[in-house]
Amino acid sequence: MNAQEADSGTTVNIDIGGTFTDCYVTKSGRLSWGKAATTPDDLSRGFLNALGEACKDLEVDVEELLKGTDILRYSTTVALNALLQRNGPRLGLITTGGHEDMLFIGNGRACGDGLPLAEQRKVARAQMPESLVPREMVVGLNERVDTFGTVVRTLDENDVLDALQHLVDRGVQGIVVSLLWSSANPTHERRVREIIQSEYPDVYLGNIPVLLASDVVPKWREYTRTTTTVLTAFLHTELTNQLLSIGDRLRDSGYHKPLQMVQNTGGVAKLSRTRVVDTYQSGPVAGIMGGAFRARSMGIKNAVCTDMGGTSFDLGLVVQGRPRFYSVRPVIDRWAVDLPLLEVKSIGAGGGSIAWLNKAFGNRLEVGPQSAGSIPGPACYGLGGNKPTVTDADVVLGYVSPDNFLGGRMKLEKERSFDAIRRHIAKPGGMSVEQAAYSIKRVVDGKMGIEIFKEVVLKGFDPQDFALLAYGGAGPAHCCGYAEALKIKRILLFSESSVFCAYGASTLDVTHVYEKSRPMSLYDPITKSYLTDMATFNETVADLERDLDRDMRSEGLDLSGMKVSLELELRYGSSPVTQRIQCKELRLHTQKSIQDLYRDFREHLISLSLGIDLPEALVRIETFVLHGSLPRAGGGLTKKRTLRAPRRQSSTPAGHRSIIWDSTLERVHTPIFSLSALRPGEVISGPAIAEARDTTHVISPGWEFEVLRDGVCEMRPINNKATTATARPDAGQRNSTKKKEA
């Protein structure tokens, strides 16, 4: 079965977030999705609950659907959650003698990695993160390989046995081997692994992971190569346990094919071919890839993808139809790593983000980064939470209906929202509950708007040249608020907005990315000569292609449609900063090809905001990055056609609700529409609410909302910001709202 045939059948796409687990299903041309609370104690329960919700619309039970499923794509926050809780095995590190303290010394920026900018500036208080490997679990070996891969000191195998005994005596549960310059010559690392496996086979140590840095990250930079391998080992057990549980439940339900894991690079691969660190931001990455797919289908070149969920607000850019930005200096938690991570900016601003008063700044109102999660969740959930959250503020303001949350599947307790905001924000801050709730909304909207502004403008773009894609459970409710300050003229929303990351997974290709450091000079300004050793260049690419072919064949797929591309990391001289550019050819055969590559590198740097161009400097190739992808048109159900329909008369509102829209705190009699009852071509002027099955579209005053085709809606600002005839202040509320709290 090829990829296209599989996706014309049944696919299941799961995204497990911190608050909700989302599911998006395609079955013989039909679409369905479901949403359920994440169950941290056993992710498989939330997984199957969300799948059960999706099955209701398809009128099929879970077991019947899974038995006929061709592909199951899976994204998860297991890695993130395990790191937050520091829940991992007791690791040991074997490194080159004299370098035992590399993790504890770090590099020049290690003290600030992963911290907010305000914290990074507190240099006097800077501290290294607590290492995942205790100092007593680090041992050095008498061996040495130089930068060219030449063995300077041979490996002492008795030294290896002593080091191993030291770790075993101290209860090691996972071993990382990271020797100096193993990226240039991995023979010593491989021999260490052979000794470990022969001395302590599985019958003695069990299924203990032994990871080599040269296998995980075959690239230069000792510190990031080691941190990446340590993180992989630390998260290995947690991911294995969670996926074993999910795998058992799936097999019991009739699904026997391998899981396809969503990866940070924007593709999927079999579980057996996926490292745990490759799944770190898989959910947000899937959302950005889905946003890029939808943007292309609508002829939109530039888009800001924004995902406001229950725990975080994630955003990424689509430029010229594709996500093209990789993190320049990727960081996972508090550690710099050396991985190809599609750039996603994340801040603690979601529906479950907790509002609090910062006493250090005179009771200044803050929102996040702490989150109430799914359990206990916002106060209005009635599950034991008593802290005020963004969702509680939305309930108090009237945006979210307590009786129609998640399409009525979950009833909210409005009084608990009032009580939480009163006790924690309003009373200590000397304001009414309504004023406190409105302030919470303004703070969180401003926080998200500033983050978008920085991400777009600092990359040299004009926000007005971008459409904004708003998704996530809370995105449609807050998008007008965080888009207004940017003067963005177009917001697009989708029927599957609340499960958009799961939808995005359905659009992903099977993708593998391989990296290898092989330093070589591209241009020498002294001799004015270009690269002459094309054989080594081509041999390196051939090695990566063999790895790609092996892993793609293990997926069991027809490789006839596979696309292969090559990127190179280059730098000026000894500069610590590399730039990644696309190589137009997989092989270099002529001097013209080499000169074109050099020219592309200089033009790329000139195009950056700094405008760097150093024609007198040495240019070096540092790393080869090979991408292989097999198109799997999982999102092909979105047709490329004109989405805008002829305008028609708007439907009658399903009801009205009293809602606070501005700082006057007056409650306005606002029309409430059911999105499912609206037809393509209908236009609604704000203020208004359009309620969907599992999200709420908040149409602020000064905005209009148009229903397009294919489940797409559009919001845009209008000139007339006056309150419409269908939205008027409630009688008795005009002057009393500020005085009343509940």
- At 387-396, the pLDDT tens digits run 999 999 999 9
Topology of domain 510-630, per CATH?
Dna Ligase; domain 1 (3.30.1490)
- Spatial contact of 470 and 712, defined as CB atoms under 8 Å apart: no
- Residue 206: pLDDT band (50, 70, 90) is low
Residue-wise pLDDT tens digits, 597-611: 999 888 887 766 555
- Residue 5: pLDDT band (50, 70, 90) is very low
> How far apart, in whole angstroms, are the C-alpha atoms of residue 314 and residue 64?
35
Tell whether the model's pLDDT for residue 178 goes beyond 90: yes
Instruction: Give residue 516's region: left, alpha or beta (phi > 0; psi -120 to 50).
Output: beta
Kindly state the greatest CA–CA separation across the chain: 87
The pLDDT value given to residue 735: 41
Tell whether the model's pLDDT for residue 711 goes beyond 70: yes
> How far apart, in whole angstroms, are the C-alpha atoms of residue 136 and residue 149?
29
The pLDDT value given to residue 25: 93
21 compared with 729, residue with greater pLDDT = 21
610 compared with 116, residue with greater pLDDT = 116
Q: Kindly report which listed range (5-9, 510-514, 659-663, 671-675) carries the lowest average pLDDT score.
A: 5-9
The pLDDT value given to residue 80: 65
* pTM higher than the cut 0.85: no
270 compared with 357, residue with greater pLDDT = 357
The pLDDT value given to residue 498: 87
Selection from 440, 396, 386 nearest residue 418 by Cα: 396
- Percentage with pLDDT > 70 across the chain: 91
- Spatial contact of 88 and 232, defined as CB atoms under 8 Å apart: no
Topology of domain 87-235, per CATH?
Rossmann fold (3.40.50)
Alpha helices in 121-180 (DSSP H): 157-169
Three-state SS for 434? helix
- Residue 162: pLDDT band (50, 70, 90) is very high
> How far apart, in whole angstroms, are the C-alpha atoms of residue 400 and residue 694?
11
- Residue 271: pLDDT band (50, 70, 90) is confident
Residue-wise pLDDT tens digits, 611-664: 566 778 899 999 999 999 887 644 444 445 567 777 777 788 999 999 999 999
CB atoms within 10 A of CB 215: 16
Structure tokens at 387: 């802290």
The pLDDT value given to residue 395: 96
The pLDDT value given to residue 581: 86
The pLDDT value given to residue 43: 82
Structure tokens at 598: 């050099």
Instruction: Give residue 459's region: left, alpha or beta (phi > 0; psi -120 to 50).
Output: alpha
Tell whether the model's pLDDT for residue 184 goes beyond 80: yes
The CATH classification number of 3-82+241-279 equals 3.30.420.40
- Residue 1: pLDDT band (50, 70, 90) is very low
Phi, psi of 407 (to 5 degrees): 65, 25
Question: Which residue type occupies 133?
Answer: V
* CA 428 to chain CA mean position, Å: 36
The pLDDT value given to residue 722: 39
The pLDDT value given to residue 490: 92
Tell whether the model's pLDDT for residue 728 goes beyond 70: no
- Spatial contact of 463 and 488, defined as CB atoms under 8 Å apart: yes
Tell whether the model's pLDDT for residue 686 goes beyond 90: no
Residue-wise pLDDT tens digits, 417-451: 999 999 999 999 999 999 999 999 999 999 999 99
Q: H or E element: which one contains 361?
A: none
- Do the domains 510-630 and 3-82+241-279 match in fold? no
Dihedral sign, Cα of residue 651, residue 655, residue 656, residue 657: negative
Residue-wise pLDDT tens digits, 138-154: 999 999 999 889 999 99
Strands of the 313-318 sheet, one edge to the other: 345-347, 313-318, 303-308, 467-471, 491-494, 712-717, 703-707, 683-685
Average pLDDT over residues 566-583: 86
Average pLDDT over residues 44-73: 89
Tell whether the model's pLDDT for residue 593 goes beyond 60: yes
Tell whether the model's pLDDT for residue 93 goes beyond 90: yes
For residues 677, 682, 687 and 689, what is the CA-based torsion angle, rounded to 10 degrees?
A: 20
The pLDDT value given to residue 398: 95
> How far apart, in whole angstroms, are the C-alpha atoms of residue 262 and residue 271?
9
Tell whether the model's pLDDT for residue 187 goes beyond 90: yes
CA gyration radius, the chain: 27
The pLDDT value given to residue 185: 93
The pLDDT value given to residue 424: 96
Selection from 552, 16, 555 nearest residue 245 by Cα: 16
Tell whether the model's pLDDT for residue 168 goes beyond 80: yes
Average pLDDT over residues 478-482: 93
Instruction: List the chain domain ranges.
Output: 3-82+241-279, 87-235, 285-344+461-503, 353-444, 510-630, 655-729
Average pLDDT value over all residues in the chain: 85
Three-state SS for 388? coil
Q: Kindly report which listed range (70-74, 164-168, 337-341, 523-527) carries the lowest average pLDDT score.
A: 337-341
410 compared with 697, residue with greater pLDDT = 697
Q: What is the 3-state secondary structure (H, E, C) of 449-509?
A: HHHHHHHHHCCCCCHHHCEEEEECCCHHHHHHHHHHCCCCCCEEEECCHHHHHHHHHHCCC
Tell whether the model's pLDDT for residue 730 goes beyond 80: no
Tell whether the model's pLDDT for residue 16 goes beyond 70: yes
Residue-wise pLDDT tens digits, 62-92: 888 998 888 899 887 666 666 766 778 899 9
The pLDDT value given to residue 3: 36
